[in-house]
Structure 1
Amino acid sequence: MISNIIPSSKKLIYSRIADRGQVSKAELLEEFALTSSTMTRLLDEMMAEKLLRISGYGESKGGRKPILYEINPTYGYIFGLDISRVVSSLGLFDMQMNARSIVHWRMDEGMTPEQFVAHAAGYMKSFLNDLQIQPADIIGIGIGAVGPIDRERGVIEKPLHFAAPGWNDVPICELLERQTGYRAVLENGANTALLGEQWAHRYANMQHMLYVHAGAGIRSAMMSQGRLIRGANDVEGAAGQMIIQAGGSRLHEYGNYGALESFVSVEAIVRKAQAQAKLGRTELPDRYGVAPEKIGYDVLLKALANEDPFVKELFAESAAYFGIGLANMINLFHPEHIILGGALVNSHELFFRTAVEVAQKNTYWFPQYKPEFSKGMLREDAVATGAAIMVRQRLEL
């Protein structure tokens, strides 16, 4: 395992070059209070250590063309691991965050923590064999997982809605380290997704971003001044407990009454479809050959793709509630860019469009203040990419 710890000045310079892609010495001197000789020495040292390489030459401003530096992509490699309820993924990234290989798999009833670790470790070994990369070149494993988590102990605590048993109080970092020999670090998946999307949007220099994932629950992450905002507790699903209907129902025997997740979650939509089918208010049972109580999300997606009016109304209503929740978060934070992800957001363009329209109508100072909305650039690979970035950032500390 590579265990280099980059000193402070090198860390800052390395980080800036990583973010900018290609940088000249003159550009770095404009940003750092260092003498020319000190900057030259640091760049030469990083070149000798193979942290950096020369990528070419910039445009001349009257003298010699300036040398352009970039981080060396093959200095080491990082695994990024996404642990989610429905589909998990593993990617192998070089130092420039190019995905050298990536794989996704379903989290079925047999994917216990032990099976998951063995599964992921098997893919890691295959990646290295296929790409002829040595285990000693692996810097570490970054993990973005469904919360709540204990980041310091590397433990997934009490997540909801996993199909397989055994996911409570899982020392996931310890299990992976024991199985692979690589150092592992843990962060909640919403935060790593936002890290990944920030990197994908790095040339836009966005400083204030909001990420909201709507699927089995509501997961969110915020970034201000380019840094993740963390609270006293690492409970990424707390946004789903936002009360949007006083005295309303609740999805489970825990949580708030009238909470956002009661209206915006896969389970909430499925429950409402089943209840309406039992009352004979939809033809879904006859059309898809299922009993009302057996209507699942897969059936609803098929009906939605077929433009079924009843199902479209269900999703549009849920999207409108989602838009209200988004507006509440936006009005507290006023980000530049809001990235939406998750099963519901990606179910149909109707859901995304409706949520954005409702959010905009309820955003204070709109349209003078008009944040951008998108589904992100990395989509399903955002969590794994951000997890790998987290490891690279730790190398730089």
Structure 2
Amino acid sequence: MIARSQTSIRKDVYRRILELGTVSKAELMQEFTLTSSSMTRLLDDLNAQEIIRVSGLGSSTGGRKPILFQTNPTYRYLLGLEISRIYSTLGLYDMQLNMLASVRWKMDPGMTPERLVDRVGQEVETFLNEHGLQRDKLLGIGVGAVGPLDRERGLIQKPEFFPASGWDEVPICELLERRLGVTARLDNGSNAALLGEHWALRGRSARHLLYIHAGIGLRAAMMSEGRLIRGAADAEGAVGQMIIATDGPRFEGRGNHGAWEAFVSVRTLEHRVRTQIKIGRPSMLGGRHPDDIRFADLIEALEADDALVKEQFTEAAAYLGIGIANLINVMHPDIVVLGGPLIEAHPLVYETAVATALKNTASGREYSPAFSLAELKENAVAAGAALMLLQEWEV
């Protein structure tokens, strides 16, 4: 049984209906310490305010068919925003987390904080016009961003590798609230993506979920019993400083020697392939100037079964698996979700990383984690940011 204070019971019941999709009063009574009459009054009140709605009748077990309830998807609408190093994504969602519209743009050298906020404002206006919505129908905007962050103050602090200048100590929530006239909430992109993927996997009853993102850098987030695990500081990228080999290289001359990110990242792969081509290793990319080779070129060469590029991807994927095994051995998740440009580049990366992780995981007779590719892919952060906003909503 779930025991909650009277001040939060309304919110908890709403969230449970959201999670289950469609539910009867009897099913809710099994989980909450409310009398039958109290639950009836609560459901009637939510229904009268059109926050939830009757969705039909369930199957009878001998008496009257039970009334089924679900959340009202059009009661309000949610915005989810990802702010990342390469692309940013904005999505419009209903109250059942169905994506109604989405737009993605490149984070080029001109995409300063001011330009981004203005772009978000323009895209929101387009969303509202296309769907015939008034601004007061928006519940707010959730933001998942590259850290480090000051989540409570709504600040993006000192992110690395942004193409544009001006991204230090940015009060992103304040700027968005001023531009859009709605509430804004901030969390790091890994946590937001984990929330989104947990939502996508809700039918699998994942109690302990680990999310790994491999792209420009490495990020990770962990959830236990449906709650995000947070530390004393926002350090989503710090997982990349986990030491894989004490005598290993440093990532671009910074951080720990032998750190995970020195072996596994988009930038590391680009650097290693360029170096191998410079010393004369044969490759279909050999006709190009090494410094002009980008990750998209590596993917194209990998799909063409280029031996050098395949070797480098395989090695990076094996190191990815070693780091994942270390995290599994500490955290013991039920499910490990893998996402990000590096993992999505080719099945070879996912398969090699999972095989290596399982080989190095201290699994017992009663424990063996399951693995899953990120289902929401490039929309995971935006969807999770919208869900974060919904979870914080005081119904």
Common fold, TM-score beyond 0.5?
yes
Map Cα deviations across residues 236-285 of structure 1 (whole Å, 9 max, x no partner): 01110000000221113431111000000111111111111111113345
Q: 1:368: how far off?
A: 5.2
Letter matched to residue 51 of structure 2 = L
CA distance in 1 between counterparts of 2:320 and 2:92 reads: 34
**Ranges in structure 2 where 5+ consecutive residues have no aligned partner:** 1-5
1:210 aligned residue: 210
Q: Which runs of 4+ in 1 moved over 6 A?
A: none
The TM-score normalised by the length of structure 1 is: 0.96
Q: What amino acid maps onto 1:383 in structure 2?
A: V
Alignment check: 8 A CA contact 2:214 2:343 kept: yes
Shift, 1:165, TM fit: 1.5
DSSP-derived class of the 1:62 partner: coil
Partner of 2:385: 387
- 8 Å contact kept, 1:278–1:293: no
Give the distance between the partners of 2:109 and 2:305, measured in 1 at CA. Answer: 31
CA distance in 1, matches of 2:100, 2:239: 34
Query: Mean alpha-carbon deviation: is it higher for 251-260 or for 361-370?
Result: 361-370
Question: C-alpha deviations, 1:208-260, integer Å up to 9, x for none?
Answer: 00000001000000001111000001110111000000022111343111100
Partner secondary structure for residue 254 of structure 2: coil
**How many angstroms apart in 2 are the aligned matches of 1:52 and 1:391?**
18
How far does residue 86 in structure 1 lie from its aligned partner after superposition?
1.0
Decide whether aligned partners of structure 1 residues 64 and 216 sit closer, same or farther in structure 2, where only a CA change above 3 A counts. same
Secondary structure (helix, strand or coil) at the match of 1:110 reads coil
- Amino acid of the residue matched to residue 233 of structure 1? A
- Judge conservation of contact 2:317–2:350 (CA < 8 Å) in 1: yes
> What is the correspondence of 1:1-16 to structure 2 with a 5 Å cutoff?
7-16=7-16
Q: Please give the TM-score of this superposition, normalised by the length of structure 2.
A: 0.96
Is the 8 Å Cα contact of residues 277 and 284 (structure 1) preserved in structure 2?
no
Report the alpha carbon displacement of residue 369 of structure 1 after superposing the two structures with TM.
Answer: 2.6
Q: Does the aligned pair in 1 maintain the 2:220–2:239 contact within 8 Å?
A: yes
Q: Extract unaligned runs of 5+ from structure 1.
A: 1-5
Q: Which amino acid aligns with 2:388?
A: M
Partner Cα distance (2:295, 2:39) in 1: 57
Give the match's secondary structure for 2:103: strand
* Structure 1 partner of 2:302: 304
Distance 1:20 1:285, change over 3 A: closer
SS at match of 2:37: helix
The alignment partner of 1:282 has SS state of coil
Tell me the matched-pair count.
390
Root mean square deviation, CA, Å:
1.4
Partner Cα separation in structure 2 for residue 212 and residue 285 of structure 1: 30
Tell me which amino acid in the other structure corresponds to 1:117. Answer: V
Could you tell me which residue of structure 1 aligns to residue 39 of structure 2?
Answer: 39
- Given residue 96 of structure 1, which amino acid in structure 2 is its aligned partner? Q
In the alignment, what sits opposite 2:3?
Answer: none
Amino acid at match of 1:390: M
What corresponds to 2:167 in structure 1?
167
Percent sequence identity over aligned pairs: 53
Alpha-carbon offset, residue 205 of structure 1: 1.7
- Give the whole-Å Cα distance in 2 for the aligned partners of 1:323 and 1:229: 22
> Is the partner of 1:203 in helix, strand or coil?
helix
Q: Once the 2 structures are TM-superposed, how far is the Cα of residue 366 of structure 1 from its aligned partner?
A: 5.7
What is the identity, as a one-letter code, of the residue corresponding to 1:65?
Answer: K
> How many Å separate the matches in 2 of 1:43 and 1:298?
52
Q: 1:68-107, aligned counterparts within 5 Å?
A: 68-107=68-107
**Deviation for aligned residue 1:367:** 7.0
Return the letter of the residue paired with 2:359. K
The 3-state SS of whatever aligns with 2:341 is: coil
